[in-house]
Structure 1
């Protein structure tokens, strides 16, 4: 199983940090040159994306990020491997990640997408069901609520093929994969969460995100901001009946943690 690292050409510093992490964990990395939002042709970025979507217009940094992940999926499908791990270059891996990622023997048959990271604030809760043991020290659980971020995930061939089949996209890549509120592919991808997580984006441990710098901040007292928040609330409310039924069936809101 290969580990694909998405890395900007202008960030050799991040490549060095990731290579050092991987070496310490006994892992190898296959570098995927990232699409750079600063230098990419805007028309080429726009060609792949709808003008508007459930979360509004996709910022150019998120468009470039999505196309970078496409490059990783294409590289994966050019091999005979059953699974791959995709990493962004701003992720911090747990000291126990090496033993888990050395092979895919812990991945049950039929699971196509596993989120390996904890994204968001400490203690964030995600609705999960169907808890299963994954090796000695980990569990897997089926995701039923939003848990975005795409800095570290395991993907199987059918899931990569499904994601590559799309022609035009109306969501950032992490929302398409891990947000049931507005992703039409979420149910088909059926993502799972690794417990505890083995990765954390560095923006949650005090470092800045490159993508964040390409986003135009929305001022809170504007019609655009209000519309976006109302749309998001509407998507959240649509899921409430389904989530209540899942809770009645044994699903649990589970606090996200990262393995030491």
Structure 2
């Protein structure tokens, strides 16, 4: 099983950070040159934005991120291995991540994708466990989650993701983990608990403003401030979002209690056990 990690040509610090983490793991790595939003042709951006639901109002950075994941999926789909690990270059691996990266034997049959990361938030998961490899739980993911920084994907699922994103353009994590605007309900997606990796923005004691800090959120805010279409929608979109957010918050405790009582779902925060690293080991 190979690791396909996404890295911009103009981000050598992130490359050094990622390679330092996998050094000594005895795993095969393949660098996937990321699509640079600064070099994304305007015509292609507009074509892809037309494939979006409009809910996410895709920025060039988000489109480029999705295209970068598509490059990784294409390599997986064309490869000889049944499974691969796709990663973004700003993740922190857990202390025991290597045991999952060396082989796919721990992944149950009939599974399409395993979310290996966490944003430390609560997730809705199946009451049933699908396995307990190396003391970790595997449960089916049933709720939308943030982040697309680390996941195991089967060759079959990579092909389906490529086909799906020919017709849909949303942020990569929405494509992977949203039941409404993504492919979550069409695939068997498991969550690894504790997680095997975490994106730098969520990592405890991460260096704010360091070389690993994701620029996508900042680029998105800047884009929407200057994009006339985003400006026209901002008022009503915000009101609509707040309306549904409050409604979901009010209904959530009752829904959680009902599903837990019926043994349909469990609601857990996905933890991670990180290897302790000093600041001097971070990419500079």
User: 1:63-74, aligned counterparts within 5 Å?
Assistant: 63-74=63-74
Aligned to 1:133: 131
Aligned Cα root-mean-square deviation (Å): 2.6
TM-score, normalised relative to structure 2: 0.81
**How many angstroms apart in 2 are the aligned matches of 1:12 and 1:63?**
22
Report how far residue 60 of structure 1 moved. 1.3
Deviations 1:181-232 (CA, angstroms, capped at 9, x unpaired): x22521112311001001111112344212123212668x933422344466
Aligned to 2:111: 111
Of 163, 166, 190, 1:192 maps to 190
CA contact (8 A) 2:7 2:32 kept: yes
| Structure 2 residue 221 is matched with structure 1 residue 222 | no
TM-score, normalised relative to structure 1: 0.87
Aligned to 1:258: 272
- In terms of Rg, which structure is larger? 2
2:103 counterpart SS class? coil
**How many angstroms apart in 1 are the aligned matches of 2:143 and 2:89?**
26
Change (3 A) 1:192 1:236: farther
**How many angstroms apart in 1 are the aligned matches of 2:84 and 2:107?**
11
CA contact (8 A) 1:4 1:84 kept: yes
Instruction: In structure 1, list runs of 5 or more residues that go unmatched.
Output: none
**How many angstroms apart in 2 are the aligned matches of 1:113 and 1:149?**
14
User: 1:1-260, aligned counterparts within 5 Å?
Assistant: 1-50=1-50, 52-53=52-53, 55-119=55-119, 122=120, 124-129=121-126, 130-166=128-164, 167-180=166-179, 182-204=180-202, 205-207=206-208, 208-216=213-221, 222-230=235-243, 246-247=259-260, 248-260=262-274
2:49 counterpart SS class? coil
Aligned residues: 255
Aligned to 2:277: none
Deviations 1:119-140 (CA, angstroms, capped at 9, x unpaired): 2xx4x21111121324222111
CA contact (8 A) 1:54 1:231 kept: no
Report how far residue 144 of structure 1 moved. 1.2
